[in-house]
Amino acid sequence: MSAKTKRTILWPLLGTAVAVAGITVLVRYAGTDSIAVHLYYLPIMYAGYRFGDYGAIFTSLLSALLCGPWMPARWEANERVYQSAADMVVRMCIFYVVGLSAARMSLELKRRATEAHRLYEVARSITSTLRLNEVLELISQSAMVVMNAKGSVIRLLDEESDELVPVAMSGLSDEYWSKGRVVGMASELNRRALAGESVQILDVKDEEAFQYPEAAKSAGLSSVLSVPMRTRSGRRGVIRVYAKRRRRFSTGEIELLTTFAEQAAVAIENAALYEDVRRNYYETVRALTTAVEAKDGATYRHSERVTEIADRLAEALGMDEHEREMLRFGSILHDIGKIGVEEDALEAREGETLEQVFYRMHPLIGVSILEPITFLHSVQPTVKYHHERWDGKGFPEGLSGRDIPLHARIVAVADVFDRIQRPEGASGAKQSSQEALLEVVSRAGTELDPEIVGKFHRMMVAAEQAHATEATDAEERSAGEAGQRADASAPSEDGGQPPVLPQSDSTEGDQAPADDDE
């Protein structure tokens, strides 16, 4: 028997049995008319608390049985006085009511505790993270558990398509969630919910306005409750719970689900504000790096191209959105330290000259620039170490192998590729993607991480193949259109000549290399 089973079942059960046995001994000597009989309430209530209705009923009936006809009412002159049948029946009923009441009160207390805990977890999640999907998933899961429902969903209204798009789902099957498009204002029920009304459906099979009754029936659903999610900017969507049995939701349950909806609305609003701040911050950073790179024609727009390549590589490596966002910031800022380097030193990438010493300081200058910005502390290693080499011959600290932070290794690959392909900057001569890729591959294991280079090579080859496929399809479409124009220009039956259609000047040129903007 496991320790958990002993702790949750065996020891409470044994304790209840010992308590009942001890009280029975006391009552045997004191009689059922004494105060000792009221001690039975303690194990009865405890059993109700620990084991619910069944535990309370069993313990109350056992206690009433032990206080049966064989138990004296009292002792008079050492003679036993028997109980009346009415006393035994009343006592049994009292024990039963006490036990059942204790079980129900315990259940209600546990439910309230669960509600409070879930609401606290959601509130803490809202204040501790800005990952909207994560918060909405927690709200959906919490609503389903606290409401004792079979499933729940949070849907946001797409004003343009008038669709309630699911963003967080709990319970039920993927088949049900993908049953089809759920309309917003075009549905009477959803229109009422979006207008601010709590909408109950007692049985979806009997509600004509419910969109997918057959799918709900197949999923074993009966009752549905929908409440609105509204922010200061207006309606945002609905949160909905599904019950497997016919059920009328109480006022308290509606208020509870409304609380979850309000928390979801707060999370959505916070995420929108954060996205605005993040976007404005990123655009400011872009403008700053563009201004820095304007000093050096060979690096103009270099950081933007590196950011695009690094982001694609991060996606190929399976990084999550948060990591990719930090990598994008690190990529766009990787050369920010050049703002503190003289123009003559910007070209001194090789050799041991004084200018080269100044050039090698730009990662450290970049870190010092970013130090006061708390939000960007996590990207400092990318800025500092993107010139380190896999073989340990880089700068500023000579790190090697996996001691170099992952983001810095990714940026290093993207940085080298762009410098090889555009040695003279955006306006100069440009090597082909294939030539630049071969050069990057040749540096794997010495300058660059071989594993990342391998993933980069596969990514670029796949992109080239996709471009080639698109070019073939475009040529086939162009040939088909040319054939149609030729048919249209053929003489008509009456000998007349139809007007000549102008030729399209949109021809397929050389395919853009895989690292260009898509």
* pLDDT at residue number 483: 62
Q: Is 204 exposed, middle or buried (0-12, 13-18, 19+ CB in 10 A)?
A: buried
**Structure letter (DSSP) for residue 376:** G
Amino acid at the residue 361: M
CATH label of the domain that carries residue 186: 3.30.450.40
Same domain, residue pair 255 and 187: yes
Same domain, residue pair 149 and 69: no
Greater confidence (424 vs 456) lies with 456
- Residues 260, 268 contacting (CB under 8 angstroms): no
Model confidence over 209-225: pLDDT tens digits?
A: 888 888 888 888 889 99
Same domain, residue pair 267 and 334: no
Residue 395 included in any domain: yes
Residue 165 included in any domain: yes
* pLDDT at residue number 511: 39
Phi-psi label, residue 268: left if phi above 0, alpha if psi -120 to 50, beta otherwise:
alpha
Residues 6+ apart with CB under 8 A from 451: none
Same domain, residue pair 204 and 255: yes
Same domain, residue pair 445 and 312: yes
Question: Total domain count for the chain?
Answer: 3
Residue 150 included in any domain: yes
Residue 493 included in any domain: no
Is the pLDDT reported for residue 118 higher than 80? Answer: no
Residue 260 included in any domain: yes
Distance CA 311, CA 324 (A): 6
Same domain, residue pair 155 and 100: no
Residue 10 included in any domain: yes
**Structure letter (DSSP) for residue 515:** T
Is the pLDDT reported for residue 321 higher than 90? Answer: no
* pLDDT at residue number 517: 38
Longest Cα–Cα distance of the chain, Å, equals: 138
Residue 498 included in any domain: no
Mean pLDDT value across the chain: 82
Q: How confident is the model at residue 425 (pLDDT cuts 50, 70, 90)?
A: low
For the residues 55-83, what does the mean pLDDT come to? 87
- Residues 289, 307 contacting (CB under 8 angstroms): no
Q: Could you tell me the residue range of the domain that residue 25 belongs to?
A: 3-109
- Residues 227, 193 contacting (CB under 8 angstroms): yes
Distance CA 215, CA 140 (A): 20
Same domain, residue pair 150 and 68: no
Model confidence over 132-184: pLDDT tens digits?
A: 788 888 888 888 888 888 999 999 998 889 899 888 888 888 888 888 888 88
Same domain, residue pair 171 and 266: yes
Residue 469 included in any domain: no
Model confidence over 236-250: pLDDT tens digits?
A: 899 999 998 888 998
Total count of residues recorded for the chain: 518
CATH label of the domain that carries residue 421: 1.10.3210.10
Dihedrals φ, ψ of 400, to 5°?
-140, 160
Same domain, residue pair 451 and 306: yes
Same domain, residue pair 267 and 300: no
* pLDDT at residue number 516: 40
Same domain, residue pair 309 and 415: yes
Model confidence over 333-347: pLDDT tens digits?
A: 898 888 777 766 556
